[in-house]
């Protein structure tokens, strides 16, 4: 994976026949802590100086929590879960952050915080932490509509077949979640 990131053709989407450069880096869920550690190490490295690219890393779970705190609803969700149940809370989070809307707050956050500099690479992490509240196929499908100026890599704890995401190696994707414009970052 890291060799691909260092390749200027990868960072400038050359060789993709005009496709948007979205990738999925799938991995065995048991390696989650190793993957987190390596991403953290890359974040602490001056990748721009050392390898020629800069990273913009978004932990989707942390972004979701930050946005819910900004909306001043995070504390209310605890009480709401006790009163109405988990599914109701998941729906409420989706409504507050407008998951189904064009102005989805998570997508807007990523776009607003990503430098539009040459050789920027976006990492999306935290997919497993926010499942099933936030679905990775929705993030990919919505983000590619508004951000096409840099490669995006979704770190996925499970299996990506090129047409289906299977989180944790056990949970099958939704019936409507089998269309992706993302490429596997590494072949298995």
pLDDT tens digits, 135-152:
888 888 889 889 988 899
Beta carbons of 131 and 167 less than 8 angstroms apart:
yes
Query: What's the whole-number mean pLDDT along residues 10-14?
Result: 75
pLDDT tens digits, 34-50:
999 999 999 998 888 88
Beta carbons of 180 and 26 less than 8 angstroms apart:
no
Q: In the predicted model, is pLDDT for residue 64 greater than 90?
A: yes
Q: In the predicted model, is pLDDT for residue 176 greater than 50?
A: no
Kindly report the average pLDDT of the chain as a whole number. Answer: 87
Enumerate the domain spans of the chain. 2-12+21-184
Rounded to two decimals, what is the model's pTM? Answer: 0.90
Which ranges in the chain belong to alpha helices (H)?
Answer: 2-6, 8-11, 32-44, 47-51, 60-70, 74-84, 86-96, 105-113, 127-130, 136-146
**pLDDT-derived band of residue 175, with 50, 70 and 90 as boundaries?**
very low
Beta carbons of 53 and 5 less than 8 angstroms apart:
yes
Choose between 170 and 165: higher pLDDT.
165
């Amino acid at each position: 994976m890291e060799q691909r990131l260092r390749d200027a053709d990868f960072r400038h989407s050359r060789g993709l026949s005009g496709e948007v450069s979205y990738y999925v880096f799938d991995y065995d869920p048991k390696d989650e802590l190793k993957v987190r550690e390596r991403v953290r190490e890359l974040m602490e490295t001056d990748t721009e100086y050392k390898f020629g690219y800069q990273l913009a890393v978004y932990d989707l779970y942390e972004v979701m929590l930050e946005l819910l705190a900004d909306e001043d609803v995070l504390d209310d969700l605890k009480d709401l879960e006790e009163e109405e149940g988990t599914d109701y809370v998941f729906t409420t989070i989706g409504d507050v952050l407008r998951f189904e809307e064009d102005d989805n707050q998570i997508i807007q956050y990523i776009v607003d915080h990503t430098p539009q500099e040459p050789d920027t690479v976006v990492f999306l992490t935290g997919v497993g932490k926010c499942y099933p509240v936030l679905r990775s196929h929705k993030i990919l499908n919505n983000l590619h509509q508004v951000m096409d100026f840099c490669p995006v890599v979704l770190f996925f704890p499970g299996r990506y077949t090129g047409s289906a995401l299977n989180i944790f190696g056990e949970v099958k994707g939704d019936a409507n979640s089998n269309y992706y414009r993302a490429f596997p970052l590494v072949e298995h």
